[in-house]
Amino acid sequence: MQQLVFATNNRHKLDEVADKIKGQIKLLTLSDIGCNDDIAETGLTFRENAAIKSKFIYHKYKLNCFGDDSGLEIDALNGEPGVFSARYAGEHGNHEANINKVLINLKNETNRKARFHTIISLIWEGEEHFFEGTVEGTIRHEKSGSEGFGYDPIFEPEGYDVTFAEMTMEEKNGISHRAKAVEQLVAFLGALKA
């Protein structure tokens, strides 16, 4: 079976991607290949950050790999937190602080339109390919639900009356930004075998 490195150690992201790939390809994490490097996301766009990760792994380990970058873009905040979604409140990965900062910044806003955006950079046999997914929605006034991660407890996808954090992984994976990008990735990999 062919192998593909996902340039992450984020267990939630890995589970979401593995659910979509369904064993078609062997998915490896950074720890699986012995990579303990902290890959600095210095790009100013999701596309740049995704490419930084995939290129780092490909050039160092010579393995087919992909990196993703995702974030929340809120209209009333001029697209913030955007590429700074994971460290919006300062400390990387402090979901509670990030959510609180968003809720405070939106306190007096009536326009709560937002979207989650994902870009995947795949390097396959030395060639780079990009895949993209977006899901539109609104920001709730308070948290609801305990599933998922990140901003999921305050993001209500369009057409639903529950947040991502109130959905099962299967439900979220049917509509999420990452799921849409990963579906394109899976279709691309499937076409290679055809």
Residue for token pair 């709730």: 140
Q: Determine which one of 37, 68, 69, 75 is catalytic.
A: 69
Residue 178 annotated as part of some ligand binding site: yes
Give exposure, 7-29, as e/b (b: 16+ Cβ within 10 Å).
bbebeebeebbeebbeeebebbb
- Which residues lie across from 116 on neighbouring strands? 72, 135
Residue 70 annotated as part of some ligand binding site: yes
Q: Determine the 3-state secondary structure of 59 from DSSP.
A: helix
Smallest CA-to-CA distance from 113 within 79, 85, 89, 88 is with: 79
Residue 172 annotated as part of some ligand binding site: yes
Residue 90 annotated as part of some ligand binding site: no
Instruction: Please give the full DSSP string across 138-158, using - where no structure is assigned.
Output: EE-SS---SSSSTTGGGEEET
Residue 177 annotated as part of some ligand binding site: yes
Known active-site residue 69:
yes
Residue 98 annotated as part of some ligand binding site: no
Smallest CA-to-CA distance from 13 within 148, 157, 139 is with: 148
Residue 26 annotated as part of some ligand binding site: no
Whether the Cβ atoms of residue 123 and residue 64 lie closer than 8 Å to each other = yes
Residue 151 annotated as part of some ligand binding site: yes
Residue 68 annotated as part of some ligand binding site: no
The residues annotated as belonging to the active site are: 69
Residues belonging to the binding site for Mg(2+) are: 69
Residues belonging to the binding site for substrate are: 8-13, 70, 149-152, 172, 177-178
Residues belonging to the binding site are: 8-13, 69-70, 149-152, 172, 177-178
